[in-house]
Amino acid sequence: MSDRTDLLEERLAHALRAIDDLSETVARQDREITRLTARVEMLLMREAERETEGSGGVILGDERPPHY
Protein backbone atom coordinates (compact mmCIF):
# COMPACT_ATOMS: atom_id res chain seq x y z
CA MET A 1 0.00 0.00 0.00
CA SER A 2 2.88 2.39 0.74
CA ASP A 3 4.21 2.07 -2.83
CA ARG A 4 0.83 3.03 -4.22
CA THR A 5 0.59 6.01 -1.87
CA ASP A 6 4.10 7.13 -2.81
CA LEU A 7 3.25 6.84 -6.51
CA LEU A 8 0.07 8.87 -6.04
CA GLU A 9 1.90 11.53 -4.04
CA GLU A 10 4.59 11.76 -6.71
CA ARG A 11 2.03 12.06 -9.51
CA LEU A 12 0.14 14.69 -7.51
CA ALA A 13 3.34 16.68 -6.97
CA HIS A 14 4.07 16.60 -10.73
CA ALA A 15 0.49 17.63 -11.52
CA LEU A 16 0.64 20.53 -9.05
CA ARG A 17 3.96 21.66 -10.55
CA ALA A 18 2.44 21.55 -14.05
CA ILE A 19 -0.57 23.57 -12.86
CA ASP A 20 1.70 26.19 -11.29
CA ASP A 21 3.78 26.43 -14.47
CA LEU A 22 0.67 26.78 -16.64
CA SER A 23 -0.78 29.39 -14.29
CA GLU A 24 2.41 31.42 -14.51
CA THR A 25 2.40 31.15 -18.30
CA VAL A 26 -1.24 32.27 -18.55
CA ALA A 27 -0.58 35.23 -16.24
CA ARG A 28 2.44 36.29 -18.34
CA GLN A 29 0.44 35.95 -21.56
CA ASP A 30 -2.39 38.01 -20.07
CA ARG A 31 0.03 40.83 -19.23
CA GLU A 32 1.50 40.66 -22.74
CA ILE A 33 -1.94 40.69 -24.39
CA THR A 34 -2.96 43.68 -22.28
CA ARG A 35 0.21 45.55 -23.26
CA LEU A 36 -0.16 44.72 -26.94
CA THR A 37 -3.85 45.64 -26.94
CA ALA A 38 -3.01 49.07 -25.52
CA ARG A 39 -0.32 49.50 -28.17
CA VAL A 40 -2.67 48.58 -31.01
CA GLU A 41 -5.28 50.99 -29.63
CA MET A 42 -2.68 53.76 -29.54
CA LEU A 43 -1.64 53.03 -33.13
CA LEU A 44 -5.26 52.99 -34.30
CA MET A 45 -5.89 56.35 -32.64
CA ARG A 46 -2.72 57.78 -34.15
CA GLU A 47 -3.73 56.56 -37.62
CA ALA A 48 -7.24 57.96 -37.20
CA GLU A 49 -5.74 61.34 -36.30
CA ARG A 50 -3.47 61.18 -39.34
CA GLU A 51 -6.43 60.40 -41.61
CA THR A 52 -8.47 63.22 -40.06
CA GLU A 53 -5.65 65.72 -40.59
CA GLY A 54 -5.23 64.53 -44.16
CA SER A 55 -1.48 64.56 -43.78
CA GLY A 56 -0.24 62.09 -46.38
CA GLY A 57 0.31 58.48 -45.85
CA VAL A 58 2.60 55.79 -47.03
CA ILE A 59 2.76 55.21 -50.79
CA LEU A 60 3.03 51.57 -51.68
CA GLY A 61 4.39 50.25 -54.96
CA ASP A 62 3.15 52.00 -58.12
CA GLU A 63 0.45 53.91 -56.30
CA ARG A 64 0.20 57.60 -57.26
CA PRO A 65 0.36 60.18 -54.50
CA PRO A 66 -2.94 61.98 -53.77
CA HIS A 67 -1.80 65.29 -55.33
CA TYR A 68 -1.61 63.83 -58.89
Q: Is the pTM of this model over 0.75?
A: no
Confidence label for 57 from pLDDT (cuts 50, 70 and 90): low
- Above 70 in pLDDT, residue 4? yes
d(CA 18, CA 25) in angstroms, rounded, equals 10
Q: Give the Cα separation of 57 and 48 in Å (integer).
A: 11
Q: How confident is the model at residue 53 (pLDDT cuts 50, 70, 90)?
A: confident
Selected residue with higher pLDDT from 41 and 53: 41
What is the three-class DSSP state of 63? Answer: coil
* Ramachandran category for residue 35: left, alpha or beta (phi over 0 → left; psi -120 to 50 → alpha): alpha
Q: Residue 60: which pLDDT band, with cuts at 50, 70 and 90? A: low
